[in-house]
Amino acid sequence: MAVDLNYEKDSKERIPYEHYLEVYQNADPREISSRCDVPYDAEKQEFTVSLMGVSYRISWPEYNVFHIGDDGSVSPIIGWYPLEKKPNAKILVLRYLTEGGAAPSTGKFLTYREIPWGEVYFRQFQGRCLMRLAFSYGNKLEAFKKVMTAMGAKPLEQGDCAFELEFMEGFFIRLILWEGDDEFPPSSQILFSDNFAVTFAAEDLAVAGDICINMMKAVERKLS
């Protein structure tokens, strides 16, 4: 699928996308493959990148994106592919390929506030991700379980209901919910494996949370 972000003339996302695309097109794909630990097929000039359980072929230097089916073909798996459709996902992965890199996790998970600069952006993250997750699924725990199971997430013994999801290869996100009642509204927490802090900026983590919740809602619609 060719990249067409359908930007408005003065879209705030246009400049970063065009900047990182230029960097990507002028980069050495073998260096990207080594630094980010993503496979690169030199004959086809394609990377293979995983995002929330879906593998994508990404062409170099064009940055055209196609999801890969279970049999290796371009065919549906779950019916929602943010890396093909959503500008924020395209920019996040493009930033990772141009500036990021694979990093091991110690197994520790961090709150958003514990990420460098996370305190500065916490209010935006709280509204964009934590409150949205809580009010979308805090009183719909069974729907949350079905969605996360369909996405291949691992259940955890935290909160009233929690799952761990591999966001990208080696980068994990934990989504934790506490059910609301007559006295208290539902609440949530989102934790990031500590290697996120090595590779991504605080703003990127807000985007990652947003992409996750969008994916969950799309899967829920498909399951209903």
Predicted local distance difference test score (pLDDT) of residue 6: 47
Tell me whether residue 132 is in a domain: yes
Are 201 and 139 in a shared domain?
A: yes
Percent of the chain at pLDDT above 90?
80
How confident is the model at residue 63, as a pLDDT?
98
Same domain, 53 and 137: no
Residue partners of 87: CB distance under 8 A and separation at least 6: 5, 7, 13, 17
- Has residue 79 got a pLDDT over 90? no
What is this structure's pTM?
A: 0.90
The answer on 89 and 190 residing in a single domain is no
Q: How many domains does one find in the chain? A: 2
* Residue 9 pLDDT exceeds 70: no
Question: With 90 as the cut, is the pLDDT of residue 21 above it?
Answer: yes
> What does the mean pLDDT of the chain come to?
90
pLDDT at position 78 is 64
84 and 167 share a domain?
Answer: no
* pLDDT value at residue 142: 97
Q: What was the pLDDT predicted at 61? A: 98
Domain limits for position 171: 109-223
At residue 224 the predicted structure's pLDDT band, cuts being 50, 70 and 90, is: confident
Flag whether pLDDT at 99 surpasses 60. yes
Widest CA span in the chain = 61
Mean pLDDT of 76-90: 82
Q: What is the pLDDT of residue 51?
A: 94
Domain boundary among 48, 65, 99: 99
Q: Which residues of 110-138 are buried (b: 16+ CB within 10 A; e: fewer)?
A: bebeebeebeebbeebbebbbbbbbebbb
Quick: pLDDT tens for 173-203: 999 999 988 899 999 999 999 999 999 999 9
- Are 23 and 95 contained in the same domain? yes
Residue 148 pLDDT class (50, 70, 90 cuts): very high
Residue 78 and residue 131 share a domain? no
Residue 129 covered by a domain: yes
Count of CA atoms in the C-beta half-sphere (13 A) of 73? 3
User: Residues 90, 188: one domain?
Assistant: no
- Confidence band, pLDDT 50/70/90 cuts, at residue 73: low
The residue from 36, 71, 99 where one domain ends is 99
